Structures are given as structure tokens and as C-alpha cells.
Amino acid sequence: MKQRIKALLGISVLVLFSAVLAARVSRAPKISAQGAVKPKTQTVQFPSGKETVDAFLATPDSSGRHPGIIVIHEWWGLNDWVKEETVKLAEQGYVALAVDLYRGKVAADSNEAHELYRGLPQDRGVQDLLAAFDYLGARADVNKDRIGSIGWCMGGGFSIQLAVHQPHLAACVVNYGALPTGPNDIQQINAPVLGNFGGKDRGITPADVQAFEKSMRSMGKRIDVKIYPDAGHAFENPNNKDGYRPEDAQDAWTRTINFFSHTLR
């Protein structure tokens, strides 16, 4: 009889232990195949003037305040690749906010992308990004004094325009985006700027980049640019099958992460 009771108690303890272990596993954060905790993602909204803007938000799965980064899409719109880059930034410990400047539209081909790009007034785009800066700054999980921006192509141009119009921006990354040429605009830039450009880019030429760098340095601004001699426009995007340069893209990403680490931490 005593042996039977001991056996039943042993089974009960094992069942209880299994239940507790299962509960702990169910409450544990999701782990990726690489062993890293995946960021939380969601769609958020915030006001911009009289309109409401949608954005894709990725946040680190950790408590406390984090630096924030405004992510600005190419002329294709807020597509999956931009969202992937946003998640990658959150994996580095940033609250990353990818703003939908096209109000939900994503281009399927270059003709549609051109139409969407031409249909976006620059002042409205800048206003949306300023509103995104305010949104991040008001979040409890963001250090409002450590907010930066990054963009590619059209988004790169908007990234530097945000630096022109938002004096409290703490860091600005421009990936082959149009650069300001007016001295008054350049004078307004307070944020340190990192630029990654293609030496074979026929839109944003090396001469354009060098002229901008020279103007920035003459005004005592902080700037670090790199021109990849064998790369053309959009060389960081793997969807650009003819122009993607994986080694250059990886180098540009490493430069970006190191830059944000020094400016936003």
C-alpha cells in the first residue's frame, strides 16, 4: 500500500512539474532559428496635419527606453523589403518606425513607382516624417533625444530633408538619395550624416556627393560618405537583380550599424 502511495505521489509530482514547465515555455519570448529574440511588430497610426499616417513599427523585446529610428522607403513604397530592414534595426535594439508615405499604395513596376513618386508632394512627405519624429519622441519606450533616420533612394533624400527640417534629429543615414545643394538648407543640418552611394549611379553622381560633402565640411558639419566604385543606384536592395551588390550592401549595413551605435547610444 505504501509503495502504491509513493508511486502515485511520484506521478503527481511529475505531472505538476510538466505543467509548470509547459506554462513557462508558453510564456517565453519567441526565439528565431538563429537563437535571437524576434522584435515585436505592429501597424500604428499617428496624426500628420489633418491626415492620419500608417506606419510599420518594430520594437525590441526588452524593457526600458531605446533609441528610435525613422525608416523611409524607396519609391516603391512600404514593401516587404523595407519592413525586413526595419525588423533588422529593431534586432539591434532600436525602436524602428517605417512610415508609409504613399498611404497604403505599393508599386508593382517602375512605371507605377514613378507615378507614386511624382504624386507625393515633398512638403507633405517632410510633414509626415516630422510627425513620425514627434510620435516616436512621445513613446514611453523611446529616448526622445536619440532619434535618427535612414532611407534609400527617394527615402534617402527624405532622410536628409528631415535633418534639414528637424534640428533635434540625432543621426541621419542617406543611401543613394538626392542631396540638398542650397547653402541655407545645408546650414540647417545639425545631425551627423552617413552616406552610402554608388560610383556608377547616374542619378546621384559621385560629383553630387563630393560637392555635398565639401559644403558640409566647410560649414563644420559632421559627415562620413563612401562611394562604392562598382555599384550603381539601389545596390543595397536584393530585389534589384541587375544592380544588387551583396558585398557592398553588407559593408554599407555594417557602416550604418556602427554609425547608429556611435550616434544614438
Question: What is the pLDDT, as a whole number, of residue 37?
Answer: 73
66 has catalytic annotation:
no
114 has catalytic annotation:
no
255 in the same domain as 162: yes
153 has catalytic annotation:
yes
Specify the CATH number for the domain of residue 258.
3.40.50.1820
114 in the same domain as 25: no
- Which structural domain range is residue 257 located in? 32-264
The single residue listed with the C-alpha cell 516587404 is 80
Q: Coil, helix or strand for 30?
A: coil
pLDDT beneath 50: ranges in the chain: 1-35
218 in the same domain as 147: yes
Q: How many CB atoms lie within 10 A of CB 242?
A: 6
Strands (E), the chain: 40-48, 51-59, 66-72, 95-99, 142-152, 171-175, 193-198, 223-228
C-alpha cell at 96: 524602428
176 in the same domain as 96: yes
- Residues 109 and 107: their CA atoms lie apart, in Å, by 6
116 in the same domain as 134: yes
Q: How far is CA 139 from CA 8, 88, 145, in A?
A: 53, 20, 12
Q: How far is CA 200 from CA 97, 155, 210, 214, in A?
A: 30, 19, 14, 20
Angle at 41 between CA 37 and CA 45, to 5 degrees: 155
253 in the same domain as 171: yes
The single residue listed with the C-alpha cell 507625393 is 120
The one catalytic residue among 201, 208, 242, 251: 201
37 in the same domain as 26: no
105 in the same domain as 14: no
153 in the same domain as 186: yes
Q: How many CB atoms lie within 10 A of CB 62?
A: 11
Q: Do 151 and 174 meet the contact criterion of CB atoms below 8 Å apart? A: yes
219 in the same domain as 91: yes
Q: How many CB atoms lie within 10 A of CB 11?
A: 10
The one catalytic residue among 100, 153, 172, 248: 153
Q: Coil, helix or strand for 81?
A: helix
Question: What is the pLDDT, as a whole number, of residue 36?
Answer: 59
36 in the same domain as 26: no
C-alpha cell at 153: 533612394
The one catalytic residue among 233, 242, 251, 262: 233
60 in the same domain as 3: no
Into how many domains does the chain fold? 2
